[in-house]
Amino acid sequence: MTGVRGTAHDLAEFRAEVRGWCREHIPADWRRAQTGVPEEEFVAFQKEWFQELRRAGFAVPHWPREWGGGMPVAEQIILYQELAAHDAPRLVLAFVAIHHAAATLLAAGTDEQRRRHLPAILDGEIWAQGFSEPGAGSDLAALSTTARRQDDGYVVNGQKVWASGAAHADWCLLLARTDPGAPKRRGISYFLLDMSTPGIDVRPIRQATGESHFCEIFLDDVVIPRTCLVGRENDGWRVAQETLGAERGMTMLELAERLGNAGFRWLLETCARPGPGGARPVDDALVADRLAGFETELTALRALCRDLVERHDAGTPGPADASVVKLFYSELLQRMTGFGAEIAGPAAHAELRKPLSSGWESGAWALDFIGSWEWTIPGGTSEIQRTIIGERGLGLPREPRGGR
Amino acid sequence: MNIDLSEEAAEYGRQAVRAFEAAGGDDLVRQAEREPKRRAALVGPVLDELGALDLDPRGDAAELEAAAALCRAAGYFAVPFPVAERLSRPAGADGLLVVDGARPAAAVAGLDLSWTAVTLDGRRCDAAARAPEGPPRTSAFVTGLDLRPAGAGGECARDLALGLVLPCWTLLGMLDRAIDLTREHVLLREQFGQALARFQGVRFQLTEAEVERSGAEALAKYALWSVQDHRGEAADDALALRLAAVEAADVVFRVAHQLHGAFGFCDEAFLSWLSRYGQPLRRLPLGPAGTRDRLTRSLGRRGLTGPFGEARERAAR
């Protein structure tokens, strides 16, 4: 399935293959079946879906061939377009593992670390990310969790926050300060943390929606063996920068395709539903105008994403391309879900369950709207993205800073 | 024309803030969510202490201003009780609700009170609250209403104006609070070695929100004056205020949440409560699009009279 193809004919054939696969393998009623299920069922469904994709060679197409990937970018684009068009479940639980953890191991891990974890990830090992702290959000380098050398390892103390899915994680990517005396970016090391180690306390954070998707992780004298250090000691900031900056274009392309397919379709359906007075919102010129605006923006977003992955593949990415895409997607998602909540009216506020395993748009508009802040805040807030675009993209002078 | 609240009304508002604070402040809504049956008991004594139900906003101009100040104070703590709706009651009912006739609902679940409702097209009804479908955590105390047409009589236009204006003062109190909370947060929260408030991108967002809030405040005062002055266009002014207030709320809460970061969506942060319990005020009787549509149809090509309308008409003659 992952042979080298390139001609238009080959790609058309591949698209037909993926379409056939989607029709056969995507559970027809997963949205209904996955709405309001208990956590354990969500976890089981996610793991099973991951294995289904893996059997087809679709789980980690972006990994190198020797580890089970190797799909050409042109085919990956088709794969994600078709998965979105057929409204496939999203890989939520495996996300950190197949993207951040894998990128870290591939870029900076030892052979032993790769052999230990990459096959395990394919078998279902779940990862979380322990980067943010109460005092270190946008300013990640201000983190204060410490890792002290002891015997043949480190003893870690501190607190991490906003770790998505940490309650289910087997392993965690951890940044901790190994040299408190060094300038703040130079004293940080990158670790792989086994979540079953004694001294780890994971507490879910109750969110406005009533969900507890994020967790706090408390680390109390947690011992990490030296073999779990990634890269050199005190070189963790560079490792994190490299892997955080690893190719995210394909995941953005997938999300943009989902927003443009099912997301926009639901918005149209919501607007076509007669309101309490009998009239359909879509017959209102103002509503139609907004919809046309969204469709234009979606088309632009999808083109931007495609351009991003192709330029990355060709080795000609612009310095702020990824930030442009993230900012555009985040704010478009927020406007679209906000509009959905407005059109759906007060009833949308009483809709408090959405299908787990869905993307950031589910048609439960009030929940989707609240969820959209998970895009404008984490992973570099919209303010940070604007700063990056200004400085790296437009070459403007750096903002005056405090004690960096 | 002086649209500022009298010093007495402003002082009454300050007393109300202190009284709500003494009764639990931010904890009132948290307690009411845990024990929805107790919400009247939680808030009732404070209203009694303030003599709130002795106010006569329909009959007395000064007391109308005091009522507005009280609503604003209640909004500041997201007080879990329909204060504005109680204060605007007509004779013979415990409270007044302005509703969308096609889908009548209000945040009055679980209260043993008799309600008069007036629809946006000016029909007066008796309203009975249904049993709430969900807990307050998800419903914010909103429940459907069964309407029964009430006999003619009463002053529907005045009901409509008063019933729209006072809840906007509650919403204004929520916007005041959202701005205060965000200001405190960006002054306190440091990243990159300095308070967030030092970043111009942060300052500009907060000032944009404050400009929206203060615009809504000016219109709230104007619409209150219009009701007070028994002006023929008071219902239009009230609807215009409502549109401005819900639009301002969109901007203020968007900025407040963005600048609070992830923390703002957690129960630890009062912003999260304010944002949730502000939803009924922002969505009922109609959200921004419905309100805009209603206002446009009501005004047609005539436009609002506005503070200088009469002078303009005189000049045209």
CATH of the domain at A190: 2.40.110.10
Residues in chain B with CB shorter than 8 Å from the CB of A368 are none
Instruction: Please report whether residue A206 resides in a domain.
Output: yes
Let me know whether A251 and A224 are in one domain.
no
Residues in chain B with CB shorter than 8 Å from the CB of A139 are 190-193
B157 and B122 in contact (C-beta within 8 Å)? yes
On the question of pLDDT at B309 being above 80, the answer is: no
In angstroms, what separates the C-alpha of B223 from chain A's closest C-alpha?
25
CB contact under 8 A, A401 and B279: no
Q: Given A233, A263, A286, which residue is the final one in a domain?
A: A233
In the numeric block, which tokens belong to residue A335?
């406007």
Average pLDDT in the B203-219 region?
97
Chain A CA closest to residue B268: A206
Let me know whether A192 and A64 are in one domain.
no
Let me know whether A60 and A185 are in one domain.
no
Quick one: pLDDT at residue A277?
76
Instruction: Please report whether residue A404 resides in a domain.
Output: no
Let me know whether A304 and A179 are in one domain.
no
Instruction: Please report whether residue A145 resides in a domain.
Output: yes
Angle, helices B61-76/B7-22, rounded to nearest 10 degrees: 30
Q: Which residue has the tokens 């502000």?
A: B278
Interface test with A, best of B265, B270, B279 (most A CBs within 10 A): B265
Q: Which of helix, strand or coil describes residue B145?
A: strand
Instruction: Please report whether residue A171 resides in a domain.
Output: yes
Let me know whether A227 and A134 are in one domain.
yes
In angstroms, what separates the C-alpha of A284 from chain B's closest C-alpha?
10
Q: Given A47, A69, A92, which residue is the final one in a domain?
A: A92
Q: What is the CATH number of the domain that holds A372?
A: 1.20.140.10
Is B105 part of the contact surface with chain A (CB cutoff 8 Å)? yes
Is B296 part of the contact surface with chain A (CB cutoff 8 Å)? no
Backbone phi and psi for residue B236, each to the nearest 5 degrees, phi listed first: -65, -40
Let me know whether A227 and A252 are in one domain.
no
Quick one: pLDDT at residue A1?
45
Is B208 part of the contact surface with chain A (CB cutoff 8 Å)? no
Provide the whole-model pTM. 0.91
Instruction: Please report whether residue A153 resides in a domain.
Output: yes
The shortest CB-CB distance from A208 to any of B190, B200, B275 is to: B275
In angstroms, what separates the C-alpha of A340 from chain B's closest C-alpha?
12
Tell me the pLDDT tens digit for each residue of B245-258: 999 999 999 999 99
Residue A285 makes CB contacts below 8 A (sequence gap 6+) with none
Which range marks the domain in which residue A337 is found? 247-393
The interface predicted TM-score (ipTM) is 0.87
Q: Given A206, A233, A260, which residue is the final one in a domain?
A: A233
The shortest CB-CB distance from A346 to any of B192, B193, B283 is to: B283
Quick one: pLDDT at residue B152?
64
Q: Is A247 a catalytic residue?
A: yes
Let me know whether A181 and A285 are in one domain.
no
Instruction: Please report whether residue A102 resides in a domain.
Output: no
Alpha-carbon dihedral angle through residues B161, B163, B165, B170, given to the nearest 10 degrees: 180
Choosing from A233, A247, A295, A351, which is the catalytic residue?
A247
**Interface A-B: count of C-beta contacts within 8 A:** 105
In 3D, which of A355, A384, A349, A387 has the Cα closest to residue A369?
A: A349
A328 and A305 in contact (C-beta within 8 Å)? no
Structural domains in chain B?
157-316 (1.20.140.10)
Question: Over its length of 404 residues, how does chain A's per-residue pLDDT go in tens digits?
Answer: 444 556 888 999 999 999 999 999 999 899 988 888 888 899 999 999 999 999 999 999 999 999 999 999 999 999 999 999 999 999 999 999 999 999 999 999 999 999 999 999 999 999 999 999 999 998 999 999 999 999 999 999 999 998 888 889 999 999 999 999 999 899 999 999 999 999 999 998 877 777 777 889 999 999 999 999 999 999 999 999 877 766 678 899 999 999 999 999 999 999 999 987 788 999 999 899 999 999 999 999 999 999 999 998 898 989 999 999 999 999 999 999 999 999 988 888 777 778 888 878 888 898 899 989 989 998 889 999 999 999 999 999 998 765 44
Q: How many domains does chain A have?
A: 3
Is A399 part of the contact surface with chain B (CB cutoff 8 Å)? yes
CB contact under 8 A, A208 and B265: yes
Stronger pLDDT, A238 or B314, i.e. the higher one: A238
Residues in chain A with CB shorter than 8 Å from the CB of B100 are 276
CB contact under 8 A, A208 and B266: yes
Backbone phi and psi for residue A127, each to the nearest 5 degrees, phi listed first: -120, 150
Instruction: Please report whether residue A403 resides in a domain.
Output: no
Instruction: Please report whether residue A227 resides in a domain.
Output: yes
Chain A CA closest to residue B107: A346
Q: Which residue has the tokens 């995507």?
A: A26
Let me know whether A385 and A272 are in one domain.
yes
Quick one: pLDDT at residue A245?
67
Is B188 part of the contact surface with chain A (CB cutoff 8 Å)? no
Let me know whether A273 and A349 are in one domain.
yes
Is B30 part of the contact surface with chain A (CB cutoff 8 Å)? no
Let me know whether A158 and A216 are in one domain.
yes
In angstroms, what separates the C-alpha of A136 from chain B's closest C-alpha?
7
Residues in chain A with CB shorter than 8 Å from the CB of B202 are 383
CA angle A196, A202, A206 (to 5 degrees): 155
CB contact under 8 A, A349 and B191: no
Let me know whether A254 and A221 are in one domain.
no
Angle, helices A285-314/A321-344, rounded to nearest 10 degrees: 160
Q: Which residue has the tokens 């070695």?
A: B193
| A325 vs A95: CA distance, rounded Å | 19
Q: Which of helix, strand or coil describes residue B170?
A: helix
In angstroms, what separates the C-alpha of A315 from chain B's closest C-alpha?
32
Quick one: pLDDT at residue A2?
44
CB contact under 8 A, B199 and A286: no
On the question of pLDDT at B38 being above 80, the answer is: yes
With a CB-CB cutoff of 8 Å, which residues 347-376 of chain A face chain B?
349-350, 352, 370, 373, 376
Tell me the pLDDT tens digit for each residue of B149-182: 987 666 788 999 999 999 999 999 999 999 999 9
Let me know whether A251 and A229 are in one domain.
no
Interface test with B, best of A282, A377, A386 (most B CBs within 10 A): A377
CA angle A216, A30, A13 (to 5 degrees): 110
Quick one: pLDDT at residue B1?
73
Alpha-carbon dihedral angle through residues A49, A53, A54, A60, given to the nearest 10 degrees: -110
Is A345 part of the contact surface with chain B (CB cutoff 8 Å)? yes
